[in-house]
Amino acid sequence: SGEFKLFDGNESSFTSQVTSLQTISYTPTVKAMEAAVDWFRRDRTFTDYYGNSMTSPIDGDPEDNWCRPNHIVLLSDGAPNSNSPTSGQAYGLTSYEGTNCARDSTSRYTNGRCAREIARWAYTTDLEEGTGWHETQNITTHTIGFDTSTGSSTEIFLQSLVGDSAGGGNYYQVDSDAPANSVAGLSNVLTSIIVDAQESIPYAYTAPVIPFNPDNAAISGDRIYIPLFVPSTTTFWKGNLKSYSFAVSDGNIVILDELGSSVVNEAYEFTGSQDYWNDSSDGGETLEGGAASHMGAHGVRNLYTNLNGSAPLSDSTNRVIFSNTAITNAMMGVATDEERVDLLNWITWDPTWTLNNLDEEPHTGVMGAPIHTQPAVVNYAGGDVVLLPTSEGVLTAIDADTGAELWAFMPVEFLSEISTIKTNNPSTTPFYGLDGPLTVYEVGGSKMAIVGMRRGGKKYFLLDVTDRDAPVFVREISAASDVNFTGLAQTWSKPLFVNINIGGAATPVLIFGGGYDTDQDTATSRSSDDEGNYIFIVNAADGGLLRTVSNTGADVTVANMTNSIASDVMTIDIDGDAMVDRIYAADVGGRIIRVDVDAMTGAVIADVNSSGGFRRFFNTPQAGYYSKGGVQFVAILIGSGNRTDPLDGSTIDRFYMIKDRAVWNPPTSYTTVTQSMLINTTSTAATRSDILNPANGGWYFDLSNTEKSYSKAILYNYAVIFTTFSATRADDLGDCEARGSAGTARVYAVDMIDANAKFNWNGGSEDSLTVNDRSDTLNMLGIPPSPMLVFPGDLDDQGGQILGNKVHLLVGIEKKRDWDDYFLPTYWEEVIDD
């Protein structure tokens, strides 16, 4: 993580060294800096005080060394001395800044002359320009004032050696009034320096890896709102939201900036562009421009929390601001009023905070990271608003015209975490905040928004956002607020807004899975989860619980429903009355669950791990209808893959078609399809007679090692189209190459009935397709989104718009295939016979 930590003997040794520090009358600062710079220089032979020769750290094979940052940390307790009028000349210091610093000192001290020049020269000079030494091999200088008084001449001198005009680093102050304070102070300073050094390492990437993912974007009219973020080695990750336009040209989706230029390159990665909320190009920088550039631009923000449930969030009793006395020190997790005010002014972008804390990083111009979340657009007469949850722990509302934040909602439990994101300590995992799915819908004339937490927690928050500027808190859905939600785990599943029949009336509801049990993070075999093995149905208007589905103690009892449901559920309206009749869900234990809503019955209808193995479902199942020759069934289509560990190769994952033969009505007895009932089509496609045989429960085929299916399949005229990702870790990379999860993205198109290839993607004939033609690689980097079909219009002879006659298959904005539009979607009511 880059954190400087002290353990066992190291801590004792460090404490002893700090405690033993004492003055010895002399402070030869310039000579010490000369010696330090000489050690780095490859054109010099450095010999220490004891006569030992040392080799420059800028040495060896450039492939493994060019990215190493070089830093000097100067710790001093007083003014420099022991410097001579000719100091520096023996070391070539007359070349520093092109002056003879011995006679033309920029230091206020005679004994400090040349120090600033040395620091400046080391920071601006490339010490190794040979082949393979990429970037500038310079040295950054930091200074630490040990027991120096604020504003003293010594502090002023040490400050003059750092910053962009000198050595490039930072100045720190440490007090030594007690050994414990000295240890803690120096440890904190070194931690900060090391973290900064690590974050500045210019790892070699083939390109900036910010692939476009339409699964995470929000579209309204011709505008597309794209969330972006930058991973970090610290707790608080930062992000942005950018506004672009888009057009369809010859079946290709083109994303355009305000100037009409494409914002992605041939690898489908973002390049320098000017989004609609920026006045100039962002230079390809994620955090430049966008909504982030407007954070804090309009003074103290409208930040609200759910302190007073009987008042609108915009009421003064719910305002997150230092003057709200209802927000106590205990809520903030601090001991003093000063700390409370400091944190509240920081999180609310109070301009006075920045003026009074010039030595700290202000929170203005900073936006949390939308790590797993996606925006949603709410349409108002006064102008659209884009809602986005972030790792700041807020649901932010952005004016779609200007990019400015209108308001933000922070759950009351996150007040105590403000210090966490402000301190921003080194960490291998981020603070997730509101990291879950967001659903926006209208019910009873009200606009509603419900947001989950994913890795951030086990709650949903329901808001009424009918008033563009004054949101209302409706309910917290959690076990903490209602014991009926005790089975709710981490809220990964996106609430689905539908109608169901309750008492003969269409009732608007939200349906979602029970979430993710974190015990699965370390599980190596299937075992029952403590939570998450639920399906919840709640009232869409107020979030009140209506029905539950689980293996015990629920309104609908489903035997063996013992694993958490992290994915979204799928619903089907069988009879076309605009009310959901059936729910399909997939759990992380490899089961498919069917719930018949009206009959209040359900069962596990498939278990791919019945004979062992540990294949997990993190995807939403897709369903297709087959009816030919007197044979009818619902085809459940889904791929397996552990979403939490893309590199895991211990299990060969698969893609499945599972038959549910009870098409129209709940069966008197449910049947569970097991692995032994499925036909293995990995090497050879199935015959239609075998698949249509009632004794066979469907088919499957193996994916390659580490290849996993993470996105929902789409289905069009019996063509099943889905994407996969095969992660690899490049263990043979050099020290200066980015080390992480890389891999290969693929798109598949197979026949729903026999699993044979649907398109020729392997150079053969369209008339003789085999399983080798099932898939093709994608150019995009990272985990691919679900495929999508585009039906662009054509122009007639008079230039009028007519319905397109081509279907275009795209993954992200990468076009993979087109074909004549002779396919027809298959509706539930339609029976197609040969």
* Confidence band for 32, pLDDT divided at 50, 70 and 90: confident
Q: Which two tokens stand for residue 168?
A: 């490039």
Q: Which two tokens stand for residue 433?
A: 């905040």
Asked whether the beta carbons of 618 and 565 are under 8 A apart, the reply is no
Q: Which two tokens stand for residue 759?
A: 């398109």
Mean pLDDT in residue range 218-233: 83
Count of CB atoms situated within 10 Å of the CB of 51: 6
User: How open is the CA angle 617-623-625, to the nearest 5 degrees?
Assistant: 150
Mean pLDDT in residue range 477-506: 97
* Confidence band for 657, pLDDT divided at 50, 70 and 90: very high
User: Has residue 700 got a pLDDT over 50?
Assistant: yes
Per residue in 741-779, pLDDT tens?
568 899 999 999 999 999 988 876 777 888 999 999 998
Strand-pair category, 545-550 with 535-539: antiparallel
For residue 720, the one-letter residue type is: V
**Residue 197 or 373, more confident:** 373
User: Has residue 453 got a pLDDT over 50?
Assistant: yes
Question: Closest Cα partner for 30 from 118, 90, 154?
Answer: 118
* Confidence band for 833, pLDDT divided at 50, 70 and 90: very low
Q: Taking each helix axis from N to C terminus, what angle separates 115-124 and 153-160, rounded to the nearest 10 degrees?
A: 30
User: Has residue 830 got a pLDDT over 60?
Assistant: no
Mean pLDDT in residue range 476-484: 96
User: Has residue 46 got a pLDDT over 50?
Assistant: yes
Asked whether the beta carbons of 531 and 575 are under 8 A apart, the reply is no
Mean pLDDT in residue range 566-580: 95
For 553, residues 6+ apart whose C-beta sits below 8 A from its C-beta are none
Mean pLDDT in residue range 783-806: 67
Asked whether the beta carbons of 158 and 205 are under 8 A apart, the reply is no
Mean pLDDT in residue range 183-198: 72
Domain ranges across the chain: 22-175, 218-423, 476-607, 622-789
Instruction: Identify the pLDDT of residue 198.
Output: 59
Question: Closest Cα partner for 638 from 606, 681, 610, 676?
Answer: 606
Asked whether the beta carbons of 777 and 767 are under 8 A apart, the reply is no
Give CA–CA dist 358/355, Å, rounded: 6
Phi and psi at 646, nearest 5°, equal -60, -25
Instruction: Identify the pLDDT of residue 106.
Output: 46
User: Has residue 242 got a pLDDT over 60?
Assistant: yes
Per residue in 593-620, pLDDT tens?
999 999 999 999 999 998 888 999 999 9
User: Has residue 303 got a pLDDT over 80?
Assistant: yes
* Confidence band for 210, pLDDT divided at 50, 70 and 90: very low
% of the chain beyond a pLDDT of 90:
53
Q: Which two tokens stand for residue 28?
A: 């030869």
Among 50-54, 273-277, 331-335, 489-493, the least confident range: 50-54
Length of the chain: 834
DSSP letter for each residue of 765-813: -TTS--GGGSEEE-SS-SS---EEEE---EE-TTS-EE--SEEEEEETT
Give CA–CA dist 831/632, Å, rounded: 9
User: Has residue 279 got a pLDDT over 90?
Assistant: yes
Mean pLDDT in residue range 384-406: 97
CA 298 to chain centre: 27
Residue recorded with tokens 């620091």: 119
Instruction: Identify the pLDDT of residue 792.
Output: 67
Phi and psi at 93, nearest 5°, equal -70, -10
Instruction: Identify the pLDDT of residue 727.
Output: 87
* Confidence band for 201, pLDDT divided at 50, 70 and 90: low
Per residue in 506-532, pLDDT tens?
999 999 999 999 999 999 999 999 999
Give CA–CA dist 245/656, Å, rounded: 37
Q: What's 686's DSSP letter?
A: P
**Residue 627 or 795, more confident:** 627
Instruction: Identify the pLDDT of residue 230.
Output: 85
**Residue 634 or 186, more confident:** 634
Instruction: Identify the pLDDT of residue 15.
Output: 64
User: Has residue 452 got a pLDDT over 90?
Assistant: yes
User: Has residue 386 got a pLDDT over 50?
Assistant: yes
Per residue in 69-91, pLDDT tens?
889 998 887 777 766 545 444 43
Q: Which two tokens stand for residue 833?
A: 């016979």
DSSP letter for each residue of 450-466: EE--GGG-S-EEEEE--
Mean pLDDT in residue range 298-314: 93
Among 590-599, 611-620, 677-686, 781-790, the least confident range: 781-790
Per residue in 334-378, pLDDT tens?
999 999 999 999 999 998 887 777 767 788 889 999 999 989 999
Mean pLDDT in residue range 99-105: 49
Q: What is the pTM of this model?
A: 0.79
Average pLDDT of the chain?
Answer: 85
Strand-pair category, 140-146 with 71-76: parallel
Instruction: Identify the pLDDT of residue 434.
Output: 97
* Confidence band for 179, pLDDT divided at 50, 70 and 90: low
* Bridge partners (DSSP) listed for residue 716: 719
Asked whether the beta carbons of 659 and 677 are under 8 A apart, the reply is no
Long-range contacts, stretch 581-586, CB < 8 angstroms, 24+ apart: 583/511, 583/535, 583/549, 584/621, 584/623, 584/636, 585/513, 585/535, 585/621, 586/617, 586/619, 586/620, 586/621, 586/638
Asked whether the beta carbons of 793 and 827 are under 8 A apart, the reply is no
